[in-house]
Amino acid sequence: MAMERSYPAVLADRYAELAPTLAHHSVGWLNRLREESAARYRSAGLPTPRVEAWRFTNLKDLVATDFALAQALPPVALDSLPRSSLLAVNGHVLAFVNGKLRADLSTLDDLPAGVTLLPLSEALRREEGILSAHLGRVVETVENPFIDLNTALMEDGIVLSLAEGAVLDKPLHIVSIGVSTQGGDKPVAFFPRLLAVLGKNARATIFESHAGIGDGAYLSAMLSEIRLEEGAHLEHYQLQNEGRAAFHIANAYAQLAAGAVYDHFALQIGSRLSRNEVHAALLGEGARCHMNGAYLGLDKQHLDSTTFIDHAVPGCSSREVYKGVLDGQAHGVFQGKILVRRDAQQTDGHQLNRALLLSRGAEVNAKPELEIYADDVKCSHGATVGELDETQLFYLQARGIDRDSARALLIEAYVQEALDEIGNAEARLPFQRLVGGWLKSRKD
Amino acid sequence: MSLIEIKNLHATVDGNAILKGIDLTIEPGEVHAIMGPNGSGKSTLSYVIAGREGYEVTEGDILFDGKSILEMETDERAIAGIFLAFQYPVEIPGVANTTFLKAAVNARRKAAGEAEVDAMQFLKLLREKTKLLGVTDEMLKRAVNVGFSGGEKKRNEILQMAVLEPRFAVLDETDSGLDIDALRIVADGVNALRGPERSMLVITHYQRLLDYIVPDKVHVLAKGRIVASGGKELAQELESTGYAGYADTEAA
């Protein structure tokens, strides 16, 4: 039986009904943007595995869930969320619960000159100019129903704008907490939005912690738009540690002008089904991109890391290292596309994806994809899938280390190699703690 | 009581009989050497003593302190005081040598009901042991055996032995791949660990190593059996006659 190329558009039928209740519906240009997005989303629907880019990640369970937009804040105490489930970062904090800003959990200290950092809801009141100039621009020509879904239904988010040469003094920590509904209420869906615009030679660091409270379903579907002007440098670190019945579909799109640097790392350990997409378009000569990540899966988790690096002009470089550890019946997906366009001579692009399977039921699909149209380039990619090395285990055991500890030591070393790709040691540490916690919670 | 008693030991690997009835008794403080041609079962014996998976004992027993170790896991044997210096030390990317040594020390302390070793104390202990073996701080920081030369790997094995202070150490072809200077350093390290309570089994193809680590007894292993035993002069004898005389000694 042939499968259609699209599933029905979740929540689309309720857009009209929900639109008036969305925050900021009174802003005209935004309303038009939302309506166009909603219409596109409604007709496109969500992709089935018949669509090549979604071959390994099936959204059928997400489509079968009857979501509602998050309404009033749920009566769950936030202190039931262990601090250890978030990245431990000192900086400016913008916290959201089910997509809604929690001012009481947020701290925006005095900001340096040239830095605008606001919740999206407030930016609409105070800095509408930044929004109308940039919102939706980075993803304008991209076809991805989750972009449209986010634009149609986003309620709040983060706006970070740096003037030429400005430096964000401390990291920005975006905390998104999903609280699953109880009783007969429908699972909630929320759509945080990040807009980050860094002017010439500006510098900033962004951490994201996505975590969950409760063991029910919810959908967290963030969209990030990132614009880096000449020589700008953004470090962007993501932790996906959603509740274990949650769906997490996140998309980040970055555009780099000449000499800009985008340093990215994503760790995925939570959710029942996730897809973390990161796209970087290298649009100016000498732009550099590090796109790294790790995914650690247990039980029946499905963790998808999909990346796309577009070398559009000469003399850019990209380096990508992804490592996965899969236990139980977990399913990992790595899709890494590197496009080197005809003009992009002297491109330097490297990609490595490795996965470690700890059990017979675990599975990984790896799809490296190098599409090269220029002839003077240095590009490589490698992919390996393997198990723990018995010889190494024996060596450790021969020194008195029991088998479980020896396995843990080898797994940790394996993940460490991915963490080592984080150039900034201070940023590496919080991820190391999360990985350490994951290793401890894992049972052999 | 003898420290090690190997009795009528038969073992198979992948269904092939390799050890065919080995009897060997080692007293506390003694150093025995096992010599033999390639394929005689030397390394198999070392792996069987360490309890490596896939090395199956089909008959006989190995007693350590009078108790059988055959039912013990590899790590339990190590904690009991048995050490194997590997012929081919294993590389472990991502695990720093110091981390590895500390994990091994702490595994022992945990088994003894002691608290984990203090980091500063441990470094002090390491420094003492590394001096003799010429193991540099840089080697301690690097991942276990990764990028080590042949000599560095073997020195690292002896360093582990020095830190873990086993009561019975099996040195599996510790001389292989070493030039004469490296061999001397390793032998000095081993000799420094000799003592009335510590026994060793030195497995080697060549007599050369035994000029430096002088054994109390020498055994010749051929086709899975010990076919001759004697004092250290037996090793010198073998050096001039070779193993040819032992090639056909297998009993039917």
- Rounded Cα gap, residues A189 and A121, in angstroms: 18
Q: What's the whole-number mean pLDDT along residues A29-48?
A: 92
Q: What's the whole-number mean pLDDT along residues A192-219?
A: 96
Interface test with B, best of A323, A325, A389, A395 (most B CBs within 10 A): A395
User: What is the structure's pLDDT at A2?
Assistant: 55
Name the token pair of A126: 């105070």
pLDDT digits (tens, 9 = 90+) for B138-178: 899 999 999 999 999 999 999 999 999 999 999 999 988 88
Grade residue B251 by pLDDT with cuts at 50, 70 and 90: very low
- Rounded Cα gap, residues A223 and A225, in angstroms: 7
Our CA-based measurement puts residue B53 at a distance from the nearest CA of chain A, in whole angstroms, of 8
Q: Does B170 touch chain A (CB under 8 A)?
A: no
Q: Which of A238, A106, A95, A86 is CA-nearest to residue A157?
A: A95
Q: What's the whole-number mean pLDDT along residues A18-24?
A: 70
pLDDT digits (tens, 9 = 90+) for A409-426: 999 999 988 899 998 999
CB atoms within 10 A of CB A78: 14
Contacts of A325 in chain B (CB under 8 A): none
Q: What is the CATH number of domain B4-237?
A: 3.40.50.300
Q: What's the whole-number mean pLDDT along residues A247-271?
A: 98
Please name the helix (run of DSSP H) or strand (run of DSSP E) that holds residue A362, with its range, or none. none
Q: Does B107 touch chain A (CB under 8 A)?
A: yes
- Domain limits, chain A: 6-389
Contacts of B124 (CB under 8 A, 6+ apart): none
Of A392, A397, A403, the CB nearest to B92: A392
* DSSP at A414: H
- Rounded Cα gap, residues A7 and A74, in angstroms: 30
CB contact under 8 A, A401 and B86: no
User: What is the structure's pLDDT at A327?
Assistant: 95
Identify whether the C-beta of residue A47 lies closer than 8 Å to the C-beta of residue A53. yes
- Rounded Cα gap, residues B53 and B157, in angstroms: 21
Identify whether the C-beta of residue A400 lies closer than 8 Å to the C-beta of residue B108. yes
Of A401, A405, A414, the CB nearest to B94: A414
User: What is the structure's pLDDT at B250?
Assistant: 45
